[in-house]
């Protein structure tokens, strides 16, 4: 699951001439639900959204208070395009959860937020509808948040680990590594210079 979280002075959702919902100061959250997401992902995102310290305290100290600490509002809008995968220049959305599954999932996230905070301060968009989202970003402050529990994240981590292993295998070997590998095959020539006189390490500063 992916969320784009923006600190706002105000935000609203309209569909045509109808205003669906609006908030004053708080957070506007654009939420992209993946086909692989579970309740564990939803719980993580809700907890993070409500507890991120993106606001100042009463003394003006920045990054010290959450939306709940300040009694601010949250507008959470479902946006499947956040699950976009580009095929050339064309967006593909096959990783987004199908609408018939995503709608109840999104509604459960809103209810989770309401039960964890003040229900009257949690607003939503119109799922599956064509909307205009009006965001007055404060700062600007924008945070990208992903749930860490999905299979895709594990696959990505494994891919990164394999890439790192390949880099380590192909990187040039240092003199100590070469000497270590060659030690078992042949004895050093007693007449050869030990290299101590020209040892770079002896010239290093402590």
pLDDT by 10s per residue, the chain, length 206: 999 999 999 999 999 999 999 999 999 999 999 999 999 999 999 999 999 999 999 999 999 999 999 999 999 999 999 999 999 999 999 999 999 999 999 999 999 999 999 999 999 999 988 999 999 999 999 999 999 865 445 555 456 556 666 766 665 555 544 454 444 454 545 454 444 444 433 344 44
pTM flag (> 0.85): no
Contact 139, 7 (CB under 8 A): yes
Label residues 52-84 b or e (16+ Cβ within 10 Å = b): bebbeeeeeeeeebbbbeeebbbbbbbbbebbe
Residue count of the chain: 206
Phi and psi at residue 168, in whole multiples of 5°?
-65, -35
Distance CA 195, CA 191 (A): 12
Residues in CB range of 45: below 8 A, 6 or more apart: 1, 3, 31, 109, 145, 147
Going 128 to 54 to 2 to 46, the CA torsion angle's sign is negative
């Amino acid at each position: 699951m992916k969320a784009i979280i923006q600190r706002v002075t105000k935000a609203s959702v309209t569909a045509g001439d109808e205003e669906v919902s609006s908030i004053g100061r708080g957070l506007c959250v654009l939420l992209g639900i993946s086909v692989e997401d579970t309740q564990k992902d939803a719980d993580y995102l809700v907890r993070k959204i409500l507890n991120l310290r993106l606001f100042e305290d009463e003394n003006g100290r920045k990054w010290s208070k959450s939306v709940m600490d300040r009694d601010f509002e949250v507008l959470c809008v479902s946006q499947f395009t956040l699950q976009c995968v580009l095929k050339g220049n064309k967006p593909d959305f096959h990783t987004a959860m199908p609408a018939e599954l995503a709608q109840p999932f999104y509604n459960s996230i809103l209810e989770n937020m309401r039960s964890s905070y003040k229900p009257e301060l949690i607003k939503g968009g119109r799922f599956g509808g064509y909307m205009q989202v009006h965001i007055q970003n404060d700062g600007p402050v924008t945070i990208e948040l992903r749930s860490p529990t999905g299979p895709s994240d594990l696959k990505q981590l494994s891919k990164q680990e394999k890439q790192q292993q390949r880099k380590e295998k192909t990187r040039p070997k240092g003199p100590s590594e070469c000497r270590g590998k060659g030690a078992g095959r042949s004895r050093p020539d007693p007449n050869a210079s030990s290299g101590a006189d020209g040892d770079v390490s002896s010239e290093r500063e402590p």
